[in-house]
Amino acid sequence: MSYPQTVIAKFGGTSVADYDAMNRSADVVLSDENVRVVVLSASAGITNLLVALAGGLEATERFVKLDAIRKIQYDIVERLANPQIIREEVERLLENITTLAEAASLATSTALTDELVSHGELMSTLLFVEILRERNVDAQWFDIRKIMRTNDRFGRAEPDVATLTELASQQLAPRLEQSLVITQGFIGSESKGRTTTLGRGGSDYTAALLGEALHASRVDIWTDVPGIYTTDPRMVPAAKRIDKIAFEEAAEMATFGAKVLHPATLLPAVRCGIPVFVGSSKDPKAGGTLVCNHTDNPPLFRALAVRRKQTLVTLHSMSMLHSHGFLAEVFNILAQHNVSVDLVTTSEVSVALTLDTTGSTSTSDSLLTTSLLTELSSLCRVEVEENLALVAIIGNQLSKACGVGKEVFGVLEPFNIRMICYGASSYNLCFLVPGDDAEKVVQKLHHNLFE
Ligand code: ASP
Ligand code: MG
């Protein structure tokens, strides 16, 4: 069954942070009758608190975090006209959290972390349903874990799209005829029924996956910024909103650190060509950015993104000279440690690479474990540089245009450019600079390319 008019609306943590934010988001939902499914993140701050609890805390610290969670959610409960209806359910979830946090203080595990962390979205969706009901809107709470089947890679689980599609048409689609459906982003379950999560910020991804499974006509991502900008406006106040952008460009931006969309979000949208709208629930009238299949006159330079805390690993080996198989061996070791490589450059006797941390809870220094370093060191000399920033220029036909090098690097004369990657993709050019220079580099480049 397909619902050509179905819009999936996703609201991020700041859009469900408190009672007023939830009501503004409810206004947004009700202003478009095509919105049939609402996907929510946890209220802002909750996931971080739950992650901290899942790390295993001693009793005093644990109570501080538990109190903070209770306060954020009760501030919402207490403003409802009939708080008693929902209080019991929220209380039950808070009790679960307390028990699971105590278990984590004895022994942590990734499965336990996901179970614990999922409570943020379970609570925010319960509260939002109640807010809608108080406005006499017919809304039903739906546990997304019934249909969001994933593998068991806890913390960064991958969805099984075929199963999701089948389960969604059996269990979710019929509900859309009855009333508005409110469900959780970010969480899922593996085949044995254990709770999993799609990686931090994964609610956007959930919304896009549901869009694909339900053949939706659009996915709306409501956040706290009115769209996608040429760069982070907090860093460059002159940054401009992009009204329309192609999937490929937006995907590059997300991957390279623009915080607006989760990097995997656009995969399902691209697969089935569903447009994704990004706007601010604080100011829906301000409009936003539409990410879609096609844009007219795509510009050479579209946007700048920065990813901080990058680690550069350089491997030197004289035996690489005139030999073969060295790179294969290096990549093999990395693959065995589940580390994927982000940027690479090579010379005759060395290879430099950065580690991909997109979408994961890990930082690159935690990916670089002692056992990985030991194994690499047995093969070659290893050099590790930390605290670099990756600056990515997103554009169109970049690798085919002339003068790109001069236009980009001409203004960066005062800076040390540690590594450059250009040519593999026509959508980006990226390079590494010392972390402390990132802001200045982006400001200068933005001024030169966009202002
Ligand atoms: N609540 C989750 C997080 O903070 C998922 C999301 O917000 O998309 O990472
Ligand atoms: Mg979020």
- Per-residue pLDDT of the chain (451 residues), as tens digits, is 444 589 999 999 999 999 999 999 999 999 999 999 999 999 999 999 999 999 999 999 999 999 999 999 999 999 999 999 899 999 999 999 999 999 999 999 999 999 999 999 999 999 999 999 999 999 999 999 999 999 999 999 999 999 999 999 999 999 999 999 999 999 999 999 999 999 999 999 999 999 999 999 999 999 999 999 999 998 999 999 999 999 989 988 888 877 788 878 889 998 999 999 999 999 999 999 999 988 889 999 999 999 998 999 999 988 766 677 888 889 999 999 888 888 999 988 899 999 876 555 555 567 788 999 999 999 899 999 989 999 999 999 999 999 999 999 999 999 999 999 998 888 999 999 999 999 999 999 999 999 9
Residues in contact with ligand 1 by the CB-under-6-Å rule are 12-13, 41-42, 47, 120, 185-186, 200-203
Domain(s) labelled CATH 3.40.1160.10 in the chain stretch across 7-224
> Residue 113: which H helix or E strand, with range?
helix 110-117
The atom number, within ligand 1, closest to the CA of 200 reads 9
DSSP reduced 3-state for 268: helix
Ligand 1 atom 6 nearest Cα: 201
Q: Give residue 284 CA to ligand 1 midpoint distance, Å.
A: 21
Among the listed residues 127, 283, 148, the one whose alpha carbon sits nearest the alpha carbon of residue 202: 148
Q: Cβ distance 267 to 248 under 8 Å?
A: no
Q: Give residue 40 CA to ligand 2 midpoint distance, Å.
A: 9
Domain(s) labelled CATH 3.30.2130.10 in the chain stretch across 302-450
Among the listed residues 433, 429, 405, the one whose alpha carbon sits nearest the alpha carbon of residue 417: 433
What is 7-224's CATH number? 3.40.1160.10
- Residues with Cβ < 8 Å from 201, sequence gap 6 or more? 186, 262, 359
Residues annotated within a binding site for ATP? 10-13, 223-224, 229, 234, 259-260
Mutate to test the pocket of ligand 1, among 200, 209, 224, 360 (most ligand atoms within 8 A of CB): 200
CA 416 to chain centre: 30
Tokens 């202002």 -> residue: 451
d(CA 253, CA 304): 8
Q: Give residue 69 CA to ligand 1 midpoint distance, Å.
A: 15
Q: Cβ distance 428 to 393 under 8 Å?
A: yes
Q: Cβ distance 95 to 86 under 8 Å?
A: no
- Residues with Cβ < 8 Å from 249, sequence gap 6 or more? 298, 302, 303, 394, 395, 396, 427
pTM: 0.86
Angle, to 10 degrees, between the axis of helix 59-77 and the axis of helix 46-54?
A: 150
- Residue 384 pairs with which residues in a beta bridge? 313
Out of 3.40.50.12280, 3.30.2130.10, 3.30.750.24, 3.90.480.10, select the CATH number for domain 302-450: 3.30.2130.10
The DSSP code for 149 is B
